[in-house]
Chain A
Amino acid sequence: MTTQTFSNPFPRDPVVTTSIDQLPDFRETESYRQGVGIVENFRENFPLSTSAGMAMGIRGRFGSGKTHLIFQLIAELQNSSILRSKVIYAKADKADAFDLYVNYFARKLEADDLKNVVSLHLAKLLRGKAPALPISNEPRMVALGELMKEAPGEKTITQIAQEEVAQLTDPQSILKLIEQELLPVSGLNREFNEEIETTARDLGPDFFRAYSKVTDPELGALALRWIQGGMLSNSERLDLGLDSAGITKASDAKQALRFLLGAFKRADFAVMFCLDEFERFSSRGTLDDQKASAGLLKDLAETFKGTGHLLVVSGANDAWNLMKKDVFDRIKQADIVEMRLSETEAKGLLDAYCQVSYGSADSVFEPDAIHLLYDAGNQNTRRILNLAHHAYEIATSENRNETDPSRLLPIKVQHLEKAANELLSDSKRQDAVEQSIQGIALDMRLPFQKDFQQDSFLCDYILGDPQRPQVAIEVTKSIFKLGEVSAAREIATLSQAIRSNFPQTRFCVVIVGYSTLEVRNELAKVVDRVFSFDEDSFAAEFREFLKSTSFQPADVEQRLKSQESAYQELQKKFDQLEGSRRDEIEQLKRALDVLQSGSLSLRETAREKRVTDKMGETLAELTSLTEEEESLAFRVLSTEEKNKSFIEPRAKLERVLRLIDDQRTHLRRADVLNEKLPQAEEFQAILRKLAALIQSAEELWDQSFAAVAKPSFAAAYPGQGLFLDDTFNRLEIRKMYRERRDLLSELENLHPHRAANQVRAYLNKVRETVRRINLLMVLLWLLALVGVAANLYLFGAAWVREGSVASSYSSTISYVQQQMAYLKKNPSSPFENNSVEDLIAELTRSSAQLNSGPSGTTYTLGYLSPRADDVRSKLDQLTKDLRSAQFQPSPFIQSTPSAQPVPSAQASLSVQAGPSIQPSPSIQPTPAAQASPGVRRGPSLTASSGATIAEDATEVDESCRRARDLIPTSIDFSGFAGAYWGANRFPIVVGLLPLLLAVLVVSFRRYTRRVQ
Chain B
Amino acid sequence: MPNEMQRLLLECFSLVEHPFEPEADKRRNLNFRALGVSLARPLDVFRVGGLEEYFVRVGPFNDAVQKIDAYLAAQGYPGGGNAPAFLIAGAKGVGRTTMASFLGYRIKTLGGGSASLNNVPVTTEHLGRLLFTIKNLVNLHVTRHQIPNCEGAFALFSNADINPQDPSINYLGQIFAELAQCMGAAPPLILVIESITWERRDWIARLYAHLSPLNIVLVFLTDDRRIYNAFRDLRSGPTLNGLEVSLDKLDRQMAEEFLRHRLERFRSNQSPIAHRGLFPFVSQALNQTIPPGEKIGIKLLEQIFRGAFNIKLQELSPQYLNAQPPNPQFQPEQLLIPFDYLSRYYSLALRS
Contact = CB atoms under 8 A, between A and B. Distances in A.
A182 B299 CA distance: 9
B223 A134 contact: no
A242 B125 CA distance: 8
B291 A156 contact: yes
B293 A186 contact: no
A181 B295 CA distance: 14
* Residue among A146, A156, A183 facing the most chain B CB atoms (10 A cut-off): A156
Most B CB within 10 A of own CB, among A154, A184, A238: A184
Contact of A134 (B93, B224, B292, B297): B292
Contacts of A189: 223
Contact of B91 (A135, A177, A187): A187
B339 interface: yes
A161 B126 contact: no
A536 interface: no
A184 B129 contact: no
A51 B303 CA distance: 43
B83 interface: no
B92 interface: yes
Contact of A154 (B93, B290, B303, B339): B339
Contacts of B200: 241
Contacts of A703: 293
B124 A238 contact: yes
A157 B296 contact: yes
Contacts of B144: none
Interface stretch (B6-14, B258-266, B342-350): B342-350
B293 A219 contact: no
B170 interface: no
Contact of A157 (B125, B128, B346): B346
Contact of A181 (B92, B288, B293, B346): B92
B233 interface: no
A707 B198 CA distance: 29
A186 B125 contact: no
Contacts of B293: 131-135, 147, 699, 703
A186 B91 contact: yes
A299 to B, nearest CB: 30
A182 B343 contact: no
Contact of B292 (A146, A161, A181, A219): A146
A184 B296 contact: yes
B297 A186 contact: yes
Interface string A395-439: 000000000000000000000000000000000000000000000
A181 B296 CA distance: 11
Contact of B295 (A132, A190, A241): A132
A239 B167 CA distance: 11
A182 B350 CA distance: 7
Contact of A235 (B94, B126, B342, B351): B126
Interface string A199-240: 000000000010000000011000000000000011100111
A190 B124 contact: no
B311 to A, nearest CB: 15
A719 to B, nearest CB: 27
Interface in B80-117: 91-94
B288 A156 contact: yes
Interface residues of B, number: 41
Interface in B297-343: 297, 299-300, 303-304, 339, 342-343
Interface string B159-179: 000000110000000000000
A193 B227 CA distance: 14
B297 A181 contact: yes
A728 to B, nearest CB: 12
A160 B346 contact: yes
B343 to A, nearest CB: 6
Given A235-B165, A238-B166, A158 B294 contact: yes
B212 interface: no
B224 A190 contact: yes
B291 A184 contact: no
A131 B293 CA distance: 7
A231 to B, nearest CB: 15
A177 B91 CA distance: 15
A570 B347 CA distance: 53
B125 A182 contact: no
Contacts of A234: 166
B123 interface: yes
B189 to A, nearest CB: 25
- Chain A interface extent, by class: 35 or more
A284 interface: no
Interface in B222-250: 223-224, 249
A218 B342 CA distance: 34
A187 B350 contact: no
A181 B93 contact: yes
Given A154-B288, A157-B290, A241 B125 contact: yes
Interface in A118-147: 131-135, 146-147
A156 B292 contact: no
Contacts of B223: 186-187, 189-190
Contacts of B93: 181, 186
B215 interface: no
Interface centre among A157, A190, A218, A234, by most chain B C-beta atoms within 10 angstroms, is A157
A238 B350 contact: no
A486 to B, nearest CB: 41
A92 B165 CA distance: 38
Contacts of A133: 292-293
A130 to B, nearest CB: 10
Nearest to A703: B293
A164 interface: yes
Nearest to B350: A164
B249 A186 contact: yes
Contacts of B289: 156-157
A155 interface: yes
Contacts of A156: 288-289, 291, 294
A186 B92 contact: yes
Nearest to B93: A181
Interface in B115-144: 123-126, 128-129
Nearest to B223: A190
A158 B297 CA distance: 12
Contacts of B295: 132
A239 B126 contact: yes
B352 to A, nearest CB: 10
B214 to A, nearest CB: 24
A132 B350 contact: no
A284 to B, nearest CB: 45
Contacts of A132: 293-295
Interface string A148-168: 000000111110110011000
A239 B350 contact: no
A175 to B, nearest CB: 13
A794 to B, nearest CB: 70
Contacts of B342: 157
Contacts of B123: 218-219
A146 B289 CA distance: 14
Contact of A241 (B126, B165, B343): B126
Interface of B: 91-94, 123-126, 128-129, 165-166, 197-200, 223-224, 249, 288-297, 299-300, 303-304, 339, 342-343, 346-347, 349-351
A-B pairs with lowest CB-CB distance, top 5: A241-B125, A186-B91, A238-B126, A235-B166, A181-B93
Given A134-B292, A157-B290, A181-B92, 17 more contacts: A131-B294, A133-B293, A135-B293, A154-B339, A157-B289, A157-B294, A157-B300, A160-B346, A181-B299, A182-B300, A189-B223, A193-B198, A234-B166, A235-B126, A239-B129, A241-B126, A699-B293
30 contacts: A131-B291, A131-B293, A131-B294, A132-B294, A133-B292, A133-B293, A156-B291, A157-B294, A158-B294, A160-B343, A164-B351, A177-B350, A181-B93, A182-B303, A182-B349, A186-B249, A187-B91, A187-B223, A219-B124, A233-B166, A235-B126, A235-B129, A238-B125, A238-B128, A238-B166, A239-B126, A241-B125, A241-B199, A241-B200, A699-B293
